[in-house]
Amino acid sequence: METAKSPAKEEWSENKHTDYIYMVSGNRLVVSMNAELDHHLADEMRDVIDNVIDERGVRHLIFDFSKIGFMDSSGIGLIMGRYKKLKDIGSISIAGANESIQRIILISGLHKLVHTYDDIGQAAKNIEK
């Protein structure tokens, strides 16, 4: 279903400010943040992620936190929203979250809904199983 204008399957797509980049590989989408995940970035990413999920038949979504050190409740809202979208057909994983972000994930109860991994490699390996 690829059109001529679509990026190659393993190519990273960057938005104009490179606050985040994403890569689709098969039915897996990796979103890698370069800016702190707050209300500003969540609003910027929401529609883009949903469009990629719908258009590319994504089932498994991995959020890569390895380059950032901050997330607030707006990030929780963003992840919860994608969880609702994918829970029946796939999974949500969180990779590379530092201690502060892990604390937010724990306090919010998000750890009960998503898988957490040390890095995206580990997350990808577990999704393949």
Partner 1 sequence: MKNKADNSMEIIFDAKSENESFARVVAAAFCTRLDPTVEEIADIKTAVSEAVTNSIVHGYDGREGQILMRCSIVDRDVIIEIEDEGVGIENVERAMEPLYTTKPEQERSGMGFSFMEAFMDELKVTSGKNSGTTVTMKKRIGVEN
Under the criterion CB under 8 A, does residue 24 sit at the interface with partner 1? no
Question: Which bin fits 90, alpha (ψ -120 to 50), beta or left (φ > 0)?
Answer: beta
Q: How far apart are CA 78 and CA 90, in angstroms?
A: 17
Amino acid at 107: I
Pick one of 21, 34, 38, 115: the residue that binds partner 1 (CB under 8 A): 38
Q: Which stretch binds partner 1 (CB under 8 A): 2-10, 20-28, 34-42, 117-125?
A: 34-42
Can you tell me the distance from the alpha carbon of 38 to that of 112, in angstroms, rounded to the nearest whole number? 21
Q: What's the number of CA atoms in the CB half-sphere (13 Å) around residue 113?
A: 20
Question: What is the per-residue binding string for partner 1 in 57-76, x denoting contact by CB under 8 A?
Answer: ------------xx-xxx-x
- Residues near partner 1 (CB under 8 A) are 35-36, 38-40, 42-43, 46, 69-70, 72-74, 76-78, 80-81, 99-100, 103-104, 107-108
